[in-house]
Structure 1
Amino acid sequence: EIDNQTPLESDFLLLEKIANVLAPTQIIELILVSNETMREINRDLRGCDYATDVLSFPLEAIPYTPLGSVVINAPLAQTNALKLGHRLEEEIALLFIHGVLHLLG
């Protein structure tokens, strides 16, 4: 499930393919948020009052529930993609992989 809370357009098909490779039997929620929303989430849930690029939140091991949520800071991903010289879709894919690997342990 993808919840894009930003005006960002991305290749979500690539992210679905990545999820199917890393966790083929699991459902993963992806949420794209603004800098401010990421800062609020990081502050409220982790006690860190700053925006970060990606956070992962595993859910309990209950049958038929999602593996967890991956939250990506879309504006920071865009900034990092420009700094690193690659496409935004590639940066989001890297952050998504990073988040899913945390969910998998």
Structure 2
Amino acid sequence: MLELENLSCYELDSAMFDEIFETLARAYMPQLSDQLTLEVLITDSAHTQELNTIYRGKANTTDVLSFPLEVDIKAQYPRDYTIALGTIVINAELSLAIAQQLGHTLENELKLLFIHGFLHIFGFDHECDDGEHRHEEHEWIERFGLPQSLIERNS
């Protein structure tokens, strides 16, 4: 289940993320996919700058942050047990500026960032891996018919 909290000034519907959430959850945690929850916080540049400073020691704003929770995928959970994966924070203000600069929609930019952040939740980390995050992101972005991936356009 996806829990969206929209603190931005933009009208958004959590349904825009639902298909991505369900597809990636089934792909990476098939045995638990029906029990997973993920919080998504849509906010602004000031809030993401504050979080980026506190949690990453970087005093600038950013487009997406991921805060994964540890989940034991080998544990036996009761069928009615909900498993929280963590939180993804997306900067809608910066997303809109990037979308306009690149000529696509705010919704597509938010989906790109959601995929990027979701892969971080599942343990991918482009800052220290050998391209696995980039590869996975590219595959999912192509599957969902989205513009160029975040990692690809930043390299």
Alpha-carbon separation, structure 1, partners of 2:92 and 2:16:
16
TM-score (norm 2): 0.64
Alpha-carbon separation, structure 2, partners of 1:80 and 1:9:
18
Name the counterpart of 2:38: 28
Gaps of 5+ in 2: 27-32, 124-155
Match of 2:68 among 35, 58, 66: 58
After the TM superposition, which residues 47-86 of structure 1 pair with which residues of structure 2 at under 5 Å, given as runs?
A: 47-61=57-71, 64-86=82-104
Give the ranges of 4+ consecutive aligned residues of structure 1 lying more than 3 Å apart after TM superposition. Answer: none
Alpha-carbon separation, structure 2, partners of 1:66 and 1:31:
14
Name the counterpart of 1:17: 19
Aligned length: 105
- Contact in 1 for aligned 2:16/2:111 (Cα 8 Å): yes
State the SS of the aligned residue for 1:6. coil
Structure 1 position 40 matched with structure 2 position 50:
yes
- Contact in 1 for aligned 2:6/2:12 (Cα 8 Å): no
TM-score (norm 1): 0.93
Matched residue type, 2:120: H
Q: Which has the higher relative contact order, 1 or 2, with Cα contacts under 8 A spaced 6 or more apart?
A: 1
- Contact in 2 for aligned 1:11/1:89 (Cα 8 Å): no
**Identical-residue share of aligned pairs (%):** 42
Match of 2:8 among 6, 9, 15: 6
Gaps of 5+ in 1: none
Alpha-carbon separation, structure 2, partners of 1:9 and 1:36:
19
State the SS of the aligned residue for 1:52. coil
CA deviations over 1:62-81 (Å, ceiling 9, x no partner): 66331111100010000000
What's the CA shift for 1:6?
Answer: 1.0
Change (3 A) 1:11 1:87: farther
Larger Rg belongs to? 2
Alpha-carbon separation, structure 1, partners of 2:54 and 2:93:
20
Matched residue type, 2:20: I
What's the CA shift for 1:16?
Answer: 1.0
